């Protein structure tokens, strides 16, 4: 190998080392703040982890706090239920879109996608009025997990639909035609042909929609008050309520971003696949 | 073709849920936009107000400022992200050891909750605690206080967004670049074309659909940025980083000026739709031609 190529490879390598450091720096700093005692926080900032002075007390304080436990549980329930609901509904919708000659298909597809494009702040007011106004006896949608699970469909369902349509389109029609010829019903075809073949795509859809639901803040903060608050709203409350407890703030933030970071390696190829698919299909 | 009724039944739950969560709120906000309705006002009952809310908006300095800030922010982040993203995509396509790892690390910010991104940058920028104020003081002798200096706050919000979303541009452009046909590139090199010439005449035209999609996605997201800015600056100092989403929230909730907030929402939605529609038309037009 000639020297020019070698040195340019080395330069690129060093460039990416520096870029990665730049990307990780803020997160690393937050981790450091979360494992330091209050006394160690101020003064000259150090990016080195002092193992002997490391403490888990911020995490312990947060995790043993009943309010925070509730937020965490709510987030888990809302994100998981929403991801499952959305993946199932979108699979059915994608199958319908892919295999049936539905009138006005293209417009319908565009309309579904517009729901994801809409700026959420625009819909805060009507949603707030709907959530507080829709009552069955004493029960209203406001401040319930069910409310959030349904509402998160507005951005996750179009996304799942978009992703799964490409996946269902890629399943050869001959396979379900053959099953129909054998006398299978639509339901059987969905369960025995489409579902198994779409499973990898469904997993990606499920994971990504789960992350989106977990990450959501604006709706959760305005449409819940006590019972159904999620971890993202809890994180925002830290700034306004306790203000200066940076260690615990950092611990909550670390716990908020942890799940997304953990699944990153699993889905990163598909983030791209989903997006390139969009570039090709619009 | 099989019975379309079955097809409609399969797609019905999706359409129904989106109708309830997307269409009904839209119609609702459309109706409230024409009402004079403030639950804290002397008369808290909603009354029909015609286009009064919209007339008020045109002269509302705070609203116009917020719109302007949002556009400025969008322009800054889009331009920076496209340039940096293109460069990074080129760099990431080179043959480098540990490429997969670098790529994963680079993708990380995309998955982090915006509110946590805000928290991260807040910890970086809090005076006395964060390293950025410390460095600014030590190296440039600049007093860096986000809650005091509007320009610093705005610049930090832009940098935070670049950190957060550039990876998306990198990844899409990389996908686009890897689909570039080799042949015209080689032909151009043989003909002795310069790198700029190749970029303008070959790379860019081929990349156009991908570029437009990327701009489309980023435009929509940038226009509605709320969470991370709220966490980092709270919209401050004053209203200097109060983007449109935050502004609407303030009018609707603490002030409960429902009618006015609805009108504001409608204008914002209208402007977003116009911009996205123009891009969408450009995109579909492009695809038709390439077919």
B13 to chain A, any CB pair closer than 8 A? The answer is yes
Identify whether B8 is part of a domain.
no
Q: Do A23 and B106 touch (CB under 8 A)?
A: yes
Asked if pLDDT for residue A122 goes beyond 90, the answer is no
Tokens of residue B5, six digits = 């009724």
Q: How many CB pairs under 8 A join A and B?
A: 298
Tokens of residue B276, six digits = 């996205």
As for how many domains chain A has, the answer is 2
Residue-range definition of the domain harbouring residue B285: 60-255+267-290
Q: Are A31 and A150 in the same domain?
A: no
Provide the CATH number for the domain around residue B158. 1.10.3720.10
Q: Do A218 and B210 touch (CB under 8 A)?
A: no
Provide, rounded to the nearest whole percent, the portion of chain B with pLDDT above 90.
Answer: 40
Cβ-based contacts of B172 with chain A (< 8 Å) = 272, 275-276, 279
B67 to chain A, any CB pair closer than 8 A? The answer is no
Q: Please tell me the predicted confidence (pLDDT) of residue B272.
A: 85
Identify whether B29 is part of a domain.
no
CA-based Rg of chain A, rounded to a whole angstrom?
23
- Average pLDDT value for residue range A23-30: 94
Using pLDDT thresholds of 50, 70 and 90, give the confidence band for residue A240: low
- Average pLDDT value for residue range B160-183: 88
Q: What is the pLDDT of residues A59-110, one digit of tens each?
A: 999 999 999 999 999 999 999 999 999 999 999 999 999 888 888 888 888 8
**From B28, B112, B163, residue closest to A129, measured CB to CB:** B28
Calculate ∠ Cα A151-A152-A154, nearest 5°: 75
Provide the CATH number for the domain around residue A169. 1.10.3720.10
- Average pLDDT value for residue range A182-187: 88
Q: Please tell me the predicted confidence (pLDDT) of residue A112.
A: 87
Q: What is the pTM of this model?
A: 0.89
Asked if pLDDT for residue A20 goes beyond 90, the answer is yes
Q: Which residue has the higher pLDDT, B71 or B44?
A: B71
Asked if pLDDT for residue A276 goes beyond 70, the answer is no
In which residue are the tokens 């959501």 written?
A: A216
**From B107, B213, B261, residue closest to A268, measured CB to CB:** B107
Q: If you ran DSSP here, which 8-state letter would residue B209 be given? A: H
A84 to chain B, any CB pair closer than 8 A? The answer is no
Asked if pLDDT for residue B120 goes beyond 50, the answer is yes
Q: Do B10 and A186 touch (CB under 8 A)?
A: yes
Alpha carbon separation from B250 to A170, A229, B15, B226, B231 (Å, rounded): 46, 20, 31, 12, 15
Using pLDDT thresholds of 50, 70 and 90, give the confidence band for residue A281: very low
As for how many domains chain B has, the answer is 1
Q: Are A199 and A230 in the same domain?
A: yes
Q: Are A176 and A40 in the same domain?
A: no
Asked if pLDDT for residue B291 goes beyond 80, the answer is no
Using pLDDT thresholds of 50, 70 and 90, give the confidence band for residue A210: very high
Q: Do A130 and B25 touch (CB under 8 A)?
A: yes
B281 to chain A, any CB pair closer than 8 A? The answer is no
Q: Are A190 and A252 in the same domain?
A: yes
Question: From the candidates A9, A122, A265, which should be mutated to test the interface with B, based on the most B CB atoms within 10 A?
Answer: A122
Cβ-based contacts of A112 with chain B (< 8 Å) = 14-15, 18
Q: Please tell me the predicted confidence (pLDDT) of residue B189.
A: 83
Q: Are A150 and A251 in the same domain?
A: yes
Work out the minimum CA distance from B161 to partner chain A, whole angstroms.
Answer: 12
Q: Please tell me the predicted confidence (pLDDT) of residue B190.
A: 85
Q: Please tell me the predicted confidence (pLDDT) of residue A250.
A: 92
């Amino acid at each position: 190998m000639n020297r020019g190529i070698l040195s340019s490879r080395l330069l690129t390598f060093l460039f990416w080392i520096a870029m990665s450091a730049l990307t990780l720096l803020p997160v690393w700093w937050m981790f450091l703040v979360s494992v330091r005692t209050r006394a160690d926080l101020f003064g000259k900032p150090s990016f080195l982890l002092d193992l002997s002075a490391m403490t888990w007390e911020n995490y312990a304080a947060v995790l043993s706090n009943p309010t925070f436990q509730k937020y965490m549980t709510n987030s888990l329930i809302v994100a998981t239920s929403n991801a499952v609901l959305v993946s199932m509904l979108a699979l059915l919708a994608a199958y319908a879109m892919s295999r049936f000659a539905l009138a006005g298909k293209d417009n319908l597809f565009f309309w579904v996608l517009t729901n994801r494009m809409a700026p959420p702040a625009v819909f805060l007011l009507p949603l707030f009025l709907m959530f507080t106004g829709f009552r069955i006896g004493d029960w209203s949608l406001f401040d319930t997990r069910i409310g959030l699970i349904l509402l998160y469909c507005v951005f996750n369902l179009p996304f799942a639909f978009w992703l799964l349509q490409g996946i269902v389109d890629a399943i050869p029609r001959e396979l379900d035609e053959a099953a129909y010829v054998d006398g299978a019903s639509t339901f059987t075809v969905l369960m025995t042909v489409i579902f198994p073949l779409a499973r990898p795509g469904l997993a990606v859809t499920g994971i990504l929609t789960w992350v989106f639901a977990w990450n959501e803040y604006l709706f959760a903060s305005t449409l819940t008050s006590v019972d159904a608050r999620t971890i993202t709203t809890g994180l925002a409350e830290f700034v306004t309520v306790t203000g200066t407890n940076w260690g615990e703030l950092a611990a909550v933030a670390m716990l908020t971003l942890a799940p997304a970071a953990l699944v990153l390696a699993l889905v990163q190829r598909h983030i791209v696949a989903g997006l390139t698919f969009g570039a090709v299909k619009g | 073709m099989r019975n379309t009724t079955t097809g409609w039944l399969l797609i019905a739950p999706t359409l129904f849920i989106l109708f309830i969560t997307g269409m009904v709120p839209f119609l609702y906000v459309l109706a409230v936009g024409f009402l004079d309705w403030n639950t804290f006002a002397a008369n808290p009952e909603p009354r029909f107000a015609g286009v009064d809310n919209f007339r008020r908006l045109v002269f509302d300095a705070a609203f116009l400022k917020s719109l302007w800030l949002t556009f400025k922010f969008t322009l800054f982040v889009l331009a920076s992200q496209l340039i940096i993203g293109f460069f990074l995509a080129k760099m990431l396509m080179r043959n480098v050891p540990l490429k997969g790892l670098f790529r994963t690390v680079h993708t990380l910010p995309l998955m982090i909750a915006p509110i946590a991104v805000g928290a991260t940058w807040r910890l970086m920028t809090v005076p006395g605690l964060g390293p950025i104020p410390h460095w600014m003081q030590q190296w440039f002798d600049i007093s860096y206080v986000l809650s005091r200096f509007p320009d610093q706050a705005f610049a930090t919000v832009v940098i935070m967004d670049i950190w957060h979303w550039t990876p998306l541009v990198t990844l899409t452009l990389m996908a686009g670049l890897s689909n570039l046909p080799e042949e015209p590139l080689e032909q151009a090199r043989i003909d002795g074309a310069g790198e700029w010439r190749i970029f303008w005449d070959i790379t860019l035209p081929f990349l156009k659909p991908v570029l437009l999609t990327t701009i489309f996605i980023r435009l929509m997201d940038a226009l509605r940025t709320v969470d991370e800015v709220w966490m980092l600056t709270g919209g401050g100092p004053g209203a200097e980083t109060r983007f449109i989403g935050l502004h609407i929230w303030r009018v609707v909730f603490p002030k409960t000026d429902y009618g006015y907030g609805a009108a504001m929402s409608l204008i914002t939605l209208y402007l977003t739709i116009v911009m996205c529609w123009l891009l969408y038309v450009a995109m579909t037009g492009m695809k038709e031609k390439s077919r």
